[in-house]
A and B are shown apart, each in its own frame.
Chain A
Amino acid sequence: SAVISQKPSRDICQRGTSLTIQCQVDSQVTMMFWYRQQPGQSLTLIATANQGSEATYESGFVIDKFPISRPNLTFSTLTVSNMSPEDSSIYLCSVPGGAGETQYFGPGTRLLVL
């Protein structure tokens, strides 16, 4: 499985500010996924980040709020813009695994917005 790191591991932010989360993978991957996990909830896919093209956002998520960059095959960033307390969540990146389309997850970024 791929080794995935995320920065920062956690942060406390003021409402109205923005935070950029980085995801680094130890191998080249075509797709990277960004998820949100709100307290006590399951994972919700925010968007799929493809290298060389615009990210594909899921229903309920927009680029202005969650801009994504994918400058190369091992790195991606997710920005949470103009934050409110409702954005307090764990944000996870993942990459596809081997056969069968499984996914492997990074350690997550724990965000608290005050």
Chain B
Amino acid sequence: QKEVEQNSGPLSVPEGAIASLNCTYSDRGSQSFFWYRQYSGKSPELIMSIYSNGDKEDGRFTAQLNKASQYVSLLIRDSQPSDSATYLCAVAPYSSASKIIFGSGTRLSIRP
């Protein structure tokens, strides 16, 4: 079982709709969770971090965490073509607080 799992996509969403990206993780003791956005040919850029159960909102982005289900998600409201990118879920396992384990990423395409 992979430590951090994501659907590779591509996920195609019409402009203006809500894009929903999902991630599950295996280490139940994990404490920190991150979403990175990576445009083609660029390095990953941190867009959201979440540490406690529930929702965390930042502009059009909402991160959701459910530690009991070992599930973290990212919602993007009012999707724009500029949101088209690969989204990487990342988890900091309790066993190694300085390391981050990345999922394989979900390719998101926003169609006009």
CB pair B43–A45 under 8 Å, yes or no, is: no
Q: Quick check: is B102 within 8 A (CB to CB) of the other chain?
A: yes
CB pair A105–B34 under 8 Å, yes or no, is: no
B44 to chain A: which residues have CB within 8 Å?
43, 92, 105
> Quick one: which of A45, A102, A108 contacts B34, CB cutoff 8 A?
A102
CB pair A42–B46 under 8 Å, yes or no, is: no
Most buried by B among A1, A45, A97, A100: A100
CB pair B100–A42 under 8 Å, yes or no, is: no
Q: A58's closest neighbor in chain B, by CB?
A: B99
A31 to chain B: which residues have CB within 8 Å?
98
Count how many pairs of residues, one from A and one from B, have CB atoms less than 8 Å apart in the complex: 48
A106 to chain B: which residues have CB within 8 Å?
43
Question: What is the total number of residues of chain A having a CB less than 8 Å from a CB of chain B?
Answer: 22
State the main secondary structure of chain B at its contact with A: loop
> Quick one: which of A48, A92, A105, A107 contacts B98, CB cutoff 8 A?
A48
CB proximity to B under 8 Å, residues A58-110: 90, 92, 96-97, 100-108, 110
A100 to B92 alpha-carbon distance, docked (Å) = 8
A100 to chain B: which residues have CB within 8 Å?
31-32, 49, 51, 92
B49 to chain A: which residues have CB within 8 Å?
100, 102
A48 to chain B: which residues have CB within 8 Å?
98-99
A90 to B97 alpha-carbon distance, docked (Å) = 25
B→A interface (CB under 8 Å) = 31-32, 34, 41-46, 49, 51, 88, 92, 97-100, 102-105
A→B interface (CB under 8 Å) = 1, 31, 33, 41-43, 45, 48, 90, 92, 96-97, 100-108, 110
